[in-house]
Structure formats: structure tokens, C-alpha cells
Amino acid sequence: MKNVFTVSFVLLAVGTVLFAFIDLSPALMLVLFVISFSLAWGASVTTRIGLQQHYFGTEAFGAILGSLSGVMMLGNMTGAPFVGWVFDAYGDYRYAWLACGVIGLIGIIMAARAPRSYSMNKQVEPGVWFTKGSDT
């Protein structure tokens, strides 16, 4: 699951960089962007919840999900003003998308280097994900 999460960050970064060069071949770049970004977004959203369960268990699942969502909102709140500032300063969105791709690279490194949790090393019975008092 961690590998899928890491690959999703790779595809997010690739999609963002492709978007930076959309003016070179609009139709082709748009199709490539949509494919890479949509697959990446879907993979990252679905695996993030599973990884949260593996790393932190289910005891305080909602509280942890809320905390993680709050941290993600910082990026959501600052992304649009950042892109607008870059456009105002340089007259082109390309630099902003490339910067977002670099930020995605940081996410790739962090996801790839995340340690295996204790519960990820335990065997999980197929179909049993949420057992009261269990970390699996």
C-alpha cells in the first residue's frame, strides 16, 4: 500500500509538470495531465486512509483523520495564493506549476522513506480490517 501511495505522488508531480508545459501541445498535454493526475489523485486518496489505519490503528481514527486533514488544508489554503503571486510576479503560470512539481518531489521522498509501522509487519486476515482493540 505504501508503494501505491508513493507512486501516486510520482504521478501527481508528473501531472503537475505536464500542466506547466500545456502550451506546447495543448491537446496532448491535457490528455496526459488528466490521465496522470486523476489516477494519482484517486490512488492517493484511497491509500491514505488505509495507511492511516496501518500506522495509527482504529482507536482514535476520526480524531487522527481530522488532524491529518487539517495539515493538508494548509497546502490547500496556500496553494492558490502562491500560484497567483507567482503569476503576478513573473507573468506566467509555468513557474508556479514547476514549483508545485518540486513540492510534489518532496512528497515523493517523504512517502518513499516512511518507515514500516508495526502493524504493517503483522499478518492481516483477509476481509478483517477493523477489529475492536486491534492495530490491524
Kindly report, residue by residue over 51-103, the tens digit of the pLDDT: 888 888 888 888 989 998 888 899 889 999 999 999 999 999 999 999 998 98
- Residue 128 lies inside a defined structural domain of this protein: no
Number of domains in the chain: 1
- Which residue range(s) make up the domain with 82? 2-121
- Residue 129 lies inside a defined structural domain of this protein: no
Nearest partner of 99 among 19, 27, 37, judged by Cα: 19
Does pTM surpass 0.75?
no
Q: What angle do CA 70, 74, 77 make, to 5 degrees?
A: 120
Assess contact for 108 and 9: CB atoms under 8 A: yes
- Residue 134 lies inside a defined structural domain of this protein: no
Q: What is the pLDDT of residues 36-54, one digit of tens each?
A: 999 999 998 889 888 888 8
